Amino acid sequence: QVQLVESGGGLVQAGGSLTLSCAASGRIFSIEVMGWYRRVPGKQRELVSTITRDGITNYHDAVKGRSTISLDNTKNTVNLQMISLEPEDTAVYYCNAIVRYSDDTNRFQHWGQGTQVTVSS
Confidence at residue 79, expressed as pLDDT on a 0 to 100 scale: 98
Distance of alpha carbon 26 from alpha carbon 3, whole angstroms: 6
Distance of alpha carbon 93 from alpha carbon 89, whole angstroms: 10
**Is 63 strand, coil or helix?**
coil
Confidence at residue 105, expressed as pLDDT on a 0 to 100 scale: 87
| Strands 115-120 vs 10-13: parallel, antiparallel or unpaired | parallel
81-99 pLDDT, tens digit per residue, is: 999 999 999 999 999 999 9
How far is Cα of residue 18 from the mean position of the Cα atoms in its chain?
13
Distance of alpha carbon 84 from alpha carbon 75, whole angstroms: 28
Average pLDDT over residues 30-51: 96
